[in-house]
A and B are shown apart, each in its own frame.
Chain A
């Protein structure tokens, strides 16, 4: 008996089981269809954009500098504050990509159709990342535009020596590109953690805990500067958000790209552990 699959004739015999990620195009199409047709996806992507831009704009609106001099405001960083909120929504999307399947039992169907678990995980990662990147571009562009308008209205202008928020400005362009990548990496980290944890609510709590708890711990480690520096250098959110800085780069405990690299390392480790667990555990 042959199983006809959508648009693709089944290759004869067992010759198709050669490469590790064989069947990736099929898996990608399957994951894309699932994600595209889930009712929440569009709303969540819209929420990423709206929350990021709204929090950034509100922060910019609350940013004052008495007389415009004597305070060191990083206009780009202030405009992109919303990333810290938007990442929570990205995490939700990433968690749902895998946890929803566990909560509905869909995962059994998925693995029946595509028994190669690494392939499934890779396909989920690719579809998720492409959607997050698209939303992140909109969110970051909107935040920078809002920040540019609002901060100028608050007197944070070039006349007082502040860099105008503009992509023509090298560090700002780096922060913009970096924050788009940051959101994508947060998505991958969340996907990894959610695959490990499986339960959707617990996974969301775990992801947000991994993101939000270390910065506060680092803050309260003020009495232990060594530990504080360590925490700011090697925890996912603190290190990753170093990419937002456009001023005072010499005072950073980790350089912008290295910080993003640390986050990438966390994401890779989470995905690796997730893949191994997917292989080892029963679904």
Chain B
């Protein structure tokens, strides 16, 4: 018979074995190294100072006014967002409920030939425009609260190359019948109003109708305008296909929609269709073609401009716009310093043999790593968020005062961007700490964290790579975390340059999730190695 002898285990001691003393010990180690504290404060200062100072240059001018006074001219939609609202409208008043039905038989357009870099209304001389239709040229019917730019509206339309759409209140876009419109395959469109609810229908034959959507437009006036409209955004031909750097030529465009079988119900008896160039400042073509022509029951409406939200680096923007991301340039520099410190937070213990003392004091190695992760994560989150808050809040106010329209500003968005970016810095620091714990040597760890986190970001945003490669890098590497800087949504119905610094291929939280996966895997691997290896 064999007796098993239990090995001697010292009795558990109170106070010495908990997680809190471990945290306190690690915090003391971090806080008492003057070089690290200075470095992390420099990191935070870089985020704040660069974010406030770097973009704050220049002053916008509009007529005799300049700076923030110009911003009063920017139309804003029902949701408070900046919008483009320029089109040619042929409309009648519609009091109370009613409907409008039309048949669209064609949508044609002209594009100014070779007008690189031009923005703003112009009138190209005759003969310099070639036939062509931009993808988001629009012709259709609209019910709008008023002809003041930024009014609530709902519209059914045919487009240049995106089929029939129903759009309302600038940001919403619903796909309906596909395919282009022509005399051989016309499109019937209908909008009905019942109180605040507008319902859109389309049909390919005028008999069988499909409801596209019923939308609620808050606060629609009793008497609205119902009619036909046409508009055509600037033509954009990218010529430098990198992800980060927008490049291409912009050309004025104008489109003409042809309508017949027009049926307005609920309008004033014997009402006439009155033409109006709504929001003419946003039209990119101002030549003589613009207008309404009527022959029998056939209407041709010719217009230029766009109805839709303003996006950062959108081709149709007529005002200088900015985003919160413009003030986050310094985050990259702050991140570089923070991850170097995070990696060294563990590697320096190996250099001087302190790790043996540390492990003698707290033999549970997983816990030790967790304590270090909490300390470095909290320190970078708190300092990083504070610095980002200064950059975003002060930076966007300064930009606003110099006449830059900051898209998607306001407290809820600012707070989200601040906390997300702080979290990104913290998670990246934990990833760096884990790499440090795995590699144990300062030089190797510092180089590794820079190559793993910073280099992909540079390759992704600097435009040295083709767009496809940059986009891929910003999806699958830890640099995906930089997506947290995005504050403005992408709209597929608006042509623009959807690349850094304003846009990333992943949504903010998805990008942060990618970084978190890397950090979690690295932390797990580091804990496993720490347990398995001799110190």
What residues make up the interface of A, taking CB atoms closer than 8 Å to B?
Answer: 51, 59, 62-65, 70-73, 77-78, 81, 84-85, 88-89, 91-92, 95-96, 99, 103, 200-201, 203-205, 208-209, 212-213, 215-217, 219-224, 241
Contact = CB atoms under 8 A, between A and B. Distances in A.
Interface string B428-467: 0000000000000011111100110011011101111111
Given A81-B459, A85-B451, A201 B446 contact: yes
Q: Which of A63, A204, A208, A241 has the most CB of B within 10 A?
A: A204
B223 interface: no
Contact of B466 (A65, A91, A224): A65
17 contacts: A59-B469, A62-B473, A71-B467, A84-B455, A84-B458, A88-B447, A89-B451, A92-B444, A200-B442, A201-B443, A204-B340, A204-B442, A212-B450, A213-B332, A215-B462, A216-B329, A223-B55
Q: Which of B347, B443, B459 has the most CB of A within 10 A?
A: B443
Given A81-B465, A204-B446, A223-B58, 4 more contacts: A78-B465, A201-B344, A205-B446, A220-B329
B244 interface: yes
Contacts, number: 114
* Chain B, interface SS category: helix
Interface string B248-291: 00000000000000000000000000000000000000000000
B344 A219 contact: no
A205 B468 contact: no
Interface in B316-330: 329
B333 interface: yes
Given A92-B443, A212-B455, A205 B464 contact: no
A151 B447 CA distance: 29
Given A72-B241, A84-B458, A95 B469 contact: no
Contacts of B241: 70-72
Contacts of B332: 213, 216
A216 B458 contact: yes
Contact of A91 (B336, B447, B457): B447
B248 to A, nearest CB: 12
A220 B54 contact: yes
B395 to A, nearest CB: 12
Nearest to B241: A71
Q: Which of A96, A99, A216 has the most CB of B within 10 A?
A: A216
A81 B458 CA distance: 11
A63 B466 CA distance: 6
A208 B454 contact: yes
Contacts of B58: 223
A222 B454 CA distance: 20
Contacts of B77: none
A95 B443 contact: yes
B118 interface: no
Q: Which 3 A-B pairs have the closest CB atoms?
A: A201-B442, A62-B472, A62-B469
A14 B240 CA distance: 66
A208 B450 contact: yes
Nearest to B347: A201
Given A63-B468, A64-B468, A65-B466, A212 B337 contact: no
Contacts of B344: 201
Contacts of A63: 465-466, 468-469
A213 B455 CA distance: 10
Interface residues of B, number: 44
Contacts of B340: 201, 204-205
A71 B450 contact: no
B12 interface: no
Contacts of A64: 466, 468
B442 A219 contact: no
Q: Which of B54, B454, B466, B472 has the most CB of A within 10 A?
A: B466
B36 to A, nearest CB: 11
Contacts of B55: 220, 223
A89 B455 contact: no
A78 B469 contact: yes
Given A84-B458, A201-B348, A219 B447 contact: no
Nearest to A100: B443
Contacts of A51: 451
Nearest to A77: B464
A142 B332 CA distance: 31
B351 interface: yes
B336 A219 contact: no
A63 B470 CA distance: 9
Interface in B225-244: 240-241, 244
Contacts of A216: 329, 332-333, 457-458, 461-462
Q: Which of B240, B348, B447, B467 has the most CB of A within 10 A?
A: B447
B443 A219 contact: no
Q: Which of B329, B446, B467, B473 has the most CB of A within 10 A?
A: B446
Contacts of B336: 205, 208-209, 212-213
Contacts of A65: 466, 468
Interface string B351-392: 100000000000000000000000000000000000000000
Contact of A208 (B351, B446, B468, B501): B446
B116 to A, nearest CB: 14
Contact of B464 (A81, A95, A217): A81
A188 to B, nearest CB: 17
A44 to B, nearest CB: 9
Contacts of A224: 57
A41 B465 CA distance: 31
Contact of B244 (A85, A200, A219, A221): A219
A73 B466 contact: yes
Interface in B469-507: 469, 472-473, 501
A238 to B, nearest CB: 9
Contact of B443 (A71, A81, A204, A209): A204
Nearest to B445: A201
Q: Which of A65, A71, A205, A208 has the most CB of B within 10 A?
A: A205
Nearest to A96: B443
Interface string B394-435: 000000000000000000000000000000000000000000
Contacts of A78: 465-466, 469
